[in-house]
Amino acid sequence: MLDADQILHFKQHGYVILRGFIHPDTLQQWRTQFWGHVGADCDDPSTWPEDYVVKDFAVEPDFGSLPSMQDIVGQLGDGMFAGGGGSMLVQWPKSDKPWQAPTQGHIDGYGPGGWSGGFMLGATTYLEQVTAGGGAFYFWPDSHLPVQEYFRQHPQQIDGSFTQRQDWDEKGWGLFSDAGPSAPQEFTGAAGDVILWHCFMCHTGSPNVNARPRLGVFSRWHRSDREEMKWDIPQDLWKYWGI
């Protein structure tokens, strides 16, 4: 369970970091599964693939269904969040170019399958340590607040139709990620550190100029009653939360 300080941090900043959250034995299991799936030697870069998306793979037991994660998701969602999963996204080292900070971050929920609504919470962890420049999950603290403001003013655009705005080509996701008060930062940390992020917190991937791959594991949750609530942008940002 999250304590009061962690909940306050999540509400204020749109994320909270849980250091050392995943048990080392689970991380070892997941690493073995991952390297087996991609058919590469973790110590031999010449055998490494290049794909960002790890197709047809999820860690087992899945990240989202670990009992410790279920406790927190139950607490945050008052039992109304569904989802989870343990898909992986890998930033393989590309050290030929200098590291450059991403300029824009997106919000999730508008993928290839279109908008299904009710997306609430994401979680990211790593199978290996990620230091600065190492392909970290890159995020805009506090950006959930201006994004909420935007959708309060344009609730009908929650379905992704903000991309139809006349200035979308010029602004892109900067429409959201430039609106916040805080500079973006890298989620650096050890294997098994977790960042929980609010659905409206802007984020993106970042380049990896280090020697080790960024092995990211992702889970996402939506409201189980999303069909009933997905158009509602409540004044109280926490209306559909248990916190």
Within 8 A by CB and 6+ apart from 183, the residues are none
Closest CB 125 distance from ligand AKG, rounded Å: 11
Question: Which of 145, 143, 149, 193 minimizes the C-alpha distance to 173?
Answer: 143
**Interacting residues with Fe ion between 86 and 145 (CB under 5 A):** 108
Could you say which of Fe ion, ligand AKG, none residue 105 binds, taking C-beta under 5 to 8 angstroms by partner kind? none
Q: Are 211 and 93 in contact (CB under 8 A)?
A: yes
Residue 216 binding: pick among Fe ion, ligand AKG, none (C-beta 5-8 Å cut-off by kind): ligand AKG
For the chain, the 3-state helix, strand and coil shares in percent, each to the nearest 5, are: 30, 20, 50
Least distance in Å: CB of 102 to ligand AKG?
10
If you search the block for the tokens 């048990």, which residue do you land on?
A: 23
Rg for the chain (alpha carbons), in Å?
A: 18
Contacts with ligand AKG by CB under 6 A: the residue count is 8
Q: Provide the mask over 90-109, with x wherever binding to ligand AKG is found by CB under 6 A and - wherever it is not.
A: ------------------x-
Shortest Cβ distance from residue 139 to ligand AKG (Å)?
Answer: 9
Name the residue nearer to Fe ion (CB basis): 77 or 109: 109
Out of 30, 34, 137, 200, the residue judged to bind ligand AKG by CB under 6 A: 137
Which residue among 40, 82, 89, 179 contacts ligand AKG (CB under 6 A)?
89
Cβ proximity of 58 and 85 under 8 Å: yes
194-233 mask for ligand AKG (x: CB under 6 A)? ---------xxx----------x-x---------------
CA distances to 49, 115, 186, 214 from 136, rounded to whole Å, are 19, 26, 5, 7
| Residue 83 vs 216, nearer CB to ligand AKG | 216
State the amino acid at position 135 in one-letter form: G
Distance CA 177, CA 107 (A): 9
Q: Which one, 100 or 156, has the nearer CB to ligand AKG?
A: 100
Please choose which of ligand AKG, Fe ion, none residue 137 contacts, taking the beta carbon within 5 to 8 angstroms, the exact cut-off set by kind.
Answer: ligand AKG
- Beta-carbon contacts of residue 10 (< 8 Å; ≥ 6 apart): 2, 16, 76, 196, 198, 243
Determine if 144 is a binding residue for ligand AKG (CB under 6 A).
Answer: no
The residue sitting closest to ligand AKG, measured at its beta carbon, is: 205
Rounded to the nearest whole angstrom, what is the least distance from the CB of residue 24 to Fe ion in the complex? Answer: 27
Q: Are 60 and 83 in contact, with CB atoms under 8 Å apart? A: no
What tokens does 191 get? 């294997």
Binding residues vs ligand AKG (CB under 6 A): 89, 108, 137, 203-205, 216, 218
